Structure 1
Amino acid sequence: MQKPRIIDAGRRRSLRGMGGLSLLATGMFVRPALADPAVHRVSQPLMGTRVDIVVQCASASMARAGMIAALAEMARLEQRMSRYRPDSEVGELQRCAGRRAARVSPELFALLRTAADLSARSQGAFDVTIGAYAGWRFEAPGVHVPDAVELARERPLVDYRQVMLDETRGEVLLRRPGMRLDLGGIAKLPILDAGMQTLRRHGLHDAMVNGGGDVMASGQLQGRDWRVGVRDPRAPERLLGVLSVSNGVVASSGDYERCFFRHGQRYHHVLNPRTGMPTDGPHGVTLVAPSIEAVNGLGAAIMVAGEAAGRQLLAPLRGVDALIAGAGQPWMSEGMSRRLRMA
């Protein structure tokens, strides 16, 4: 695991010159409290992004121990759920596809159960078997667009109904040879939440965990709620507004993080399970909720399903505030309209 980067008190003092906001990273703000020796921060690459932890604690040693433990727990779960590691549980499931079931950890089994429920609710707009569209490459210099023949060959392998979950044995079977899982749309929030729970077990209750714009917030920072900036997916260099959050989660999905242009066409990483091509619906979705259960994976599902279907998915949920940003004026739930302070 890569050594975490910890900002100490001397480094925090050097941040004072940055003005009203002492940190701006992946849509998250921390006010000048970083100049406070009771505020501690650690950063580390995880899950293909950068994970930041900020805690307020009078004891530097207590803060350091809790943050390092949280990063270790998140790294442990990432290793189990990564589709890029041959020694991961996901890798084992893919090797066994079409042949036999494999026993998985309770964490992965619970995640796949959540995925199955969301897939059924969204009528397949969310589908973790989208990993079968393996030809896409979104990182320069090796960007690649699979051709129609390749996508047609892979399309029969994308079907969430072919993922068999055996609750009694804790086993999972991918029924068709060649099936592959991509948990990118649903694994990050539970991993970040595991980091937050680790912080709390270490007595750190005023804390924030941010991973690529998905934010877990607990308690407050210097007596005020945590501030989370919401990026405008149509112009990611600017903000739509700022949210104040305590003891909750902000989940963001967008088509601006991993994308490239080819022959005048823009391609992004949020794929439609039915076609294997990037979605052409909303550019971004932001959800705020007290916990991850109601919103995990939902942003990706809405980006595939579109605004109208997304609003139907949101309708029965209580305590969830939502913003859906398309080509025109963003749609906001009543709760989000009250919560979001426009930039």
Structure 2
Amino acid sequence: MNSAPSTAFSPLRRRIAMALPLLGCAPWVSATPGAQSPQRVSRPLMGTQVDIVVDGLDAPLGRHAIDQAYAEMARLEALLSRYRADSAVSRISRAAGIQPVEVPPEVMRLLQAAQQMHGFSGGAFDITVGSLKGWRFEAGHQAAPSASEIARQLRRVDARRLVLDERAGTAYLAEQGMALDLGGIAKLPILEAGMQVLRNHGVGHALINGGGDVLVMGQLQGRPWRVGLRDPRAPERLLGVLPVQGRAVVASSGDYERFFMAAGQRRHHILDPRTGYPTGGVHGVSLLARDVAEVNGLGAAMMVRGAKAGQALVARRPGVQALVVSQDGGAWYSAGMAASMERVAA
């Protein structure tokens, strides 16, 4: 439940666009003729490319704000990445079945949010899928575990056995061999922290894109930001464009970016905590909301639950709009998503 490939900039007709091969979203950024150009910076972070666009601020001030935003996001990544041996997440996993681990407040808040999503989704979202250690989706190191290995490790997947003591500030996995994977819930809060830094430095209009998740505030030169929704059935094509402004988040989950083929089957990075195997039934989910907390972890939970049950989850969150594309080729739009999205001709 982690990242997407790096992004690239390319010209598109008369506009400057971010041409992004992402899970589901791509911001279209164009400058009004004669206006001060927005500042754009792209840097690798969280195993993907994170793009920041700032509008309406002098270049030195904008660049300083952007640098500080990247610094804060990098700090949080160092706490939350399971690929870093010194991260808080790795320390919790190493101490599984041995002792509780003291964690910073930022980590505690995220673990609590993960537990809340676990309950909300009926167990479909579970950060202890990190216990399924045989799966590898990194380029050049892709691998699928054997059925017996999955069965053995699946016994350790149970978020209810993650014990959080808010008063002591500790987290504890109850059995040795258990491990955490925050890939499905860490990225959006990290991007949100970057956006908050921009706000604190006087930025009123900005976009942050990280591997298919897009946060915006304000506008782009007096107009809405435009975020394209990729078609999971044909990722080179857009299903539509969302004009968004003010404060908004567009988040996507899908089975078609980090995957490999094994025995004729697509093996992708979103694992079902009930089976130990990649999810089936849904190609991709795109979500629109005002706040990160409304959608964080929800897309992965919907991939696990399937199209119909996923729609039911969205219905329980009135502030969330959704697009769900099933593996049978069907697409479902919530009423708000259908009203907001501008369709793109085939």
Q: Same fold (TM over 0.5)?
A: yes
Kept in 2: contact 1:34–1:40 (CA 8 A): no
1:330 and 2:331 equivalent? yes
Distance across 2 between alignment mates of 1:337 and 1:181? 36
Correspondence 1:1-343 to 2 at 5 A: 18-25=13-20, 26=22, 27-33=25-31, 37-246=36-245, 247-326=247-326, 327-343=328-344
- Amino acid aligned to 1:29: P
- Tell me the SS of whatever aligns to 1:328: coil
CA positional deviation for 1:235: 1.0
CA positional deviation for 1:18: 4.3
Kept in 1: contact 2:27–2:209 (CA 8 A): no
User: What TM-score comes out, normalization by structure 2 length?
Assistant: 0.92
- Tell me the SS of whatever aligns to 2:267: strand
Question: How large is the Cα RMSD of the aligned pairs?
Answer: 1.7
Kept in 1: contact 2:28–2:228 (CA 8 A): no
Change (3 A) 1:292 1:58: closer
Kept in 2: contact 1:93–1:173 (CA 8 A): yes
Please list the CA deviations of residues 3-22 of structure 1 after superposition, one character each: whole Å capped at 9, or x if unmatched: xxxx9xxxx9xx76743453
Distance across 1 between alignment mates of 2:16 and 2:325? 25
- Tell me the SS of whatever aligns to 2:189: helix
Distance across 2 between alignment mates of 1:263 and 1:276? 17
Please list the CA deviations of residues 280-324 of structure 1 after superposition, one character each: whole Å capped at 9, or x if unmatched: 121111111110111100000000001111111111212211111
181-190 vs 115-124, greater mean Cα deviation: 115-124
69-78 vs 129-138, greater mean Cα deviation: 129-138
- Tell me the SS of whatever aligns to 1:67: helix
Gapped regions of structure 2 (runs ≥ 5): 1-7
- Give the structure 2 partner of residue 4 of structure 1: none
Change (3 A) 1:108 1:34: farther
Change (3 A) 1:148 1:16: closer
Kept in 2: contact 1:28–1:213 (CA 8 A): yes
Gapped regions of structure 1 (runs ≥ 5): 1-6
- Tell me the SS of whatever aligns to 1:294: helix
Distance across 1 between alignment mates of 2:228 and 2:91? 38
CA positional deviation for 1:149: 1.2
Kept in 2: contact 1:118–1:126 (CA 8 A): yes
Distance across 2 between alignment mates of 1:148 and 1:16? 47
Of structures 1 and 2, the one with the larger relative CO (CA 8 A, separation 6+) is: 2
- Tell me the SS of whatever aligns to 1:145: coil
User: What TM-score comes out, normalization by structure 1 length?
Assistant: 0.93
- Amino acid aligned to 2:144: V
* Percent identity over paired residues: 52
CA positional deviation for 1:139: 2.9
Please list the CA deviations of residues 140-169 of structure 1 after superposition, one character each: whole Å capped at 9, or x if unmatched: 322211001111110111000000011111
CA positional deviation for 1:264: 2.0
Distance across 2 between alignment mates of 1:58 and 1:120? 42
Kept in 2: contact 1:22–1:34 (CA 8 A): no
- Tell me the SS of whatever aligns to 1:32: coil
- Amino acid aligned to 1:59: D
Distance across 2 between alignment mates of 1:150 and 1:37? 57
Kept in 2: contact 1:288–1:320 (CA 8 A): yes
